[in-house]
Chains A and B, each alone.
Chain A
Amino acid sequence: MTVALFVPCYLDQFYPEVAIATLELLERLGVDVVFPPEQTCCGQPMANTGCTADCAPVARRFVDIFAPFDSIVCPSGSCTSMVRNHYDDYFAEDDDAFLHVKQRTFDLCEFLYDELQIQELKIEGQDVCFPHRVSLHQSCHGLRELRLGPSSENMTVRDNKVRQLMNLVKDVEWCDLSRPDECCGFGGTFAVNEADVSAAMGRDRVADHVGSGSEVIVSADMSCLMHLQGLIRREKSPIEVMHVAQVLAGRKLKKTNAK
């Protein structure tokens, strides 16, 4: 089985370390991973702005590039949801290439949890450790569109796949938030379109994480973290952000705000 790595556009350009961690993690788990270099973006910014005509060719291109692979894995719930839940507008119902891509595109966490069903995490025989106080930021799209975990509004029982995976890492000390799944306020172009509301939401999110005693916000979506990190840097808040792939791949906590 050959898995294609789908690296969201902003990760490729601004957070390559997250993509590298994802790649290494998958390789370490014995997955045959390929990064198709023709890929760019899933088209979500255009789709969410209402620019259907601008999204369509990007979506088509995406499907053409990824259709030859058995599975497509992406370290982002939001981009995964775009392909899985919002591509239908752009393709014919009987488009086999599209149907294959739609059904076989996974968020990294659900791929590890549902497809690979990993039970342990080791690097060269050693347990992966992350001896830090950690709080989980659950991205809305991961939570409410991919159902990677239970959402507080919904009374359905669900496994929290991201947290279960993080529990394979030794020495993690969880810090619980007062609002476990409130939106961080990123929302793609929303962050620019509604800048005041977005920043207010983000500052409240950071405050909840800081208030929980956490040292590091971990999330399966770097886009939320990019927004939160921007606010953290501006306000010099005493907390770091890391993508879950980085923790699972055994990366150490980098203290950017260290005095």
Chain B
Amino acid sequence: MNMLPIVDHPAAARPFVTNPDRAPWHDKALWFVRSKRDKQASSVPEWEYLRSLASQIKTATIANLGDYLTEFERNATALGAVVHWAADAEEHNRIVLKILRDHDTHRIVKSKSMLTEECGLNPFLEANGIDVVDTDLGERIVQLRHETPSHIVLPAIHLKKEEVGETFHEHLGTDEGAADPKYLTEAARGHLRDKFLAGEVGITGVNFAIAETGGFVVCTNEGNADLGASLPNVHIACMGIEKLVPRFEDLAVFLRLLARSATGQPITTYTSHFHGPRDSHSELHIVLVDNGRSRLRQSDAFRDALHCIRCGACMNTCPVYRRSGGHSYRATIPGPIGSVLSPTRDSSKHKSLPFACSLCGSCTDVCPVKIPLHHQLLAWRKEIGNLKLLSYDKRISMKMASLLFRSARLFSFAGWVGRASLKVLPHWATHHRLNTWTIARELPEPPKESFRHWYAKNRK
């Protein structure tokens, strides 16, 4: 969980990025996923058209969100579902707990849902005496380790199989030192089967909800959402209000983009549609959660972030994420989209995240719903500047730079001083730990003269 009141990404990233085994391995694992995504994207001739279409559908949905939500509620209710509205995380958690209490249930099987992570549902329920089991394999691994997911699609991507083996040895009684993925997966299956059978309520997330039908779709690769929602008689589906698409046919656009962008699969193994409760003995509850989304919708600069379908492609492609690991963001959603979303909740706490970005723009180009991510991160930096949240050294150095750049004479003189000092000062005086540039790098070798000096002599 979050330890620091203010997240300092460079400091939080340091142990991971400077670990000679961890960072390159993590980088390669995610680059492998990114390469699979490229292969899949290139196999769809209309890929860029699909992206544009998806973006347009989302823009239209968000613009008329109130109407579509009402339509969804009407149609879902007609199908027999109970629709709940939660203004924030606390209300969401209270609603879920009330449903559990109404049924006097204490054992929950939960499939992957970043929304419940965002709302802190697990610790809340546990504090209220409820046993919550995450049924996604990666989520179960991090849950056993008392960690949070480090990636929204690959929650345990920061762990090596040996570490998973240790965790399972400790909690599931697998052989010590076992690291064979097949063996470990089988052990997890056996363990989770018991949990599924004992589960009294199944909680799932929602990938897409359809206003026109009142149904929704959950995508998993393990089938755990189906099992979790099918065995118990009560299914609670928790969704952010931006998960809506207007029409059933819109799903085709998003389902084609989602799995390809997320993991490089043509489609997720299980794409399960839920339209009302299973039978007359079952209940389906849908909790619609705002938790800051309406506020984001008001913002011209950041509204498009509501397009996000949580595919994780921006994380897989982000060179900073790949080397610093998901936990360095100290946020439910890490990576580029997380660095856009987190400051909308608490700009002071997350002020370093928009700077954990080289502005390479790869996230923007990879995003299946065309969120201009790196431009939004840049916009956040300006916002953080406006909110007077920039550190003193950033403010003062940029103020000085600005003054310098307003006079060619001053700029030229400062440049001369810099070059001259580099020439006369010994290496240790210019390359030390206080000069952050030179911790890992050499400074450029100073030339005899600046270009402007050369030009004045040679071209006049």
Binding site for B on A (CB under 8 A): 7, 9, 11-17, 19-20, 23, 35, 37-41, 43, 45-55, 57-58, 61, 86, 89, 140-141, 143-145, 151-156, 179, 181-183, 185-204, 226-227, 229-231, 233-234
Contacts and interface: CB of A to CB of B under 8 A. Distances in A.
B390 A51 contact: yes
Contact of B386 (A52, A186, A204): A52
B351 to A, nearest CB: 10
B248 interface: no
Given A141-B361, A183-B362, A190-B358, A14 B48 contact: no
A230 B390 contact: no
A54 B454 CA distance: 29
Given A50-B382, A179-B31, A231-B441, A196 B13 contact: yes
24 contacts: A11-B451, A15-B447, A16-B449, A16-B454, A19-B451, A37-B452, A40-B407, A50-B383, A51-B395, A140-B360, A143-B361, A144-B361, A153-B41, A153-B317, A183-B362, A187-B357, A196-B10, A196-B13, A199-B439, A199-B440, A200-B23, A201-B323, A202-B440, A230-B438
B321 to A, nearest CB: 10
Contact of B398 (A40, A54, A156): A54
Interface stretch (B107-115, B270-278, B411-419): B411-419
A144 to B, nearest CB: 4
Given A14-B446, A49-B394, A51-B398, A197 B10 contact: yes
Nearest to A33: B459
A58 B402 contact: yes
Interface residues of B: mostly helix, strand, loop or mixed? helix
A204 B323 CA distance: 10
Contacts of A12: 415, 450-452
Given A50-B383, A196-B17, A230-B441, A9 B319 contact: no
B73 interface: no
Contact of B454 (A20, A58, A196): A20
A19 B454 CA distance: 10
Given A35-B452, A199-B440, A144 B10 contact: no
B5 interface: no
B14 interface: yes
B85 interface: no
B42 interface: yes
A153 B362 contact: yes
Contact of B404 (A40, A52, A200): A40
Given A51-B394, A54-B399, A140 B447 contact: no
Given A140-B359, A194-B356, 18 more contacts: A37-B455, A41-B411, A49-B394, A51-B390, A51-B394, A52-B382, A54-B401, A54-B402, A57-B402, A144-B365, A154-B48, A155-B42, A188-B359, A192-B437, A196-B13, A196-B440, A230-B442, A231-B441
Contact of B450 (A16, A47, A192): A16
B402 A55 contact: yes
A20 B451 contact: yes
Contacts of B30: none
A231 B405 contact: no
B80 to A, nearest CB: 42
B146 interface: no
Contact of A140 (B23, B362, B408, B419): B362
Contacts of B365: 144, 151, 153-154
A7 B454 CA distance: 13
A201 B356 CA distance: 13
Most chain A beta-carbon contacts within 10 A, residue among B18, B42, B401, B406 = B401
Contacts of B66: none
Given A9-B411, A194-B356, A197-B324, A50 B385 contact: yes
Nearest to A52: B382
Interface in B403-436: 404-408, 411, 415, 418-419, 436
Contact of B38 (A144, A152, A202): A152
Contact of B447 (A17, A35, A55, A201): A17
B440 A50 contact: no
Interface in B169-189: none
Q: Across chains A and B, which 10 residue pairs bring their CB atoms closest together, nearest first?
A: A187-B358, A230-B441, A50-B381, A50-B385, A199-B440, A144-B361, A54-B402, A183-B360, A153-B365, A16-B451
B25 interface: no
B444 A226 contact: yes
Contact of A14 (B380, B384, B447, B454): B447
A189 B320 CA distance: 14
A156 B41 CA distance: 11
Nearest to A205: B319
B13 A40 contact: no
Given A13-B415, A86-B378, A195-B436, A48 B444 contact: no
A42 B259 CA distance: 41
B134 interface: no
A37 B441 CA distance: 31
B440 A201 contact: no
Contacts of A191: 437
B27 interface: yes
A195 B439 contact: yes
A216 to B, nearest CB: 17
Given A55-B402, A185-B358, A197 B411 contact: no
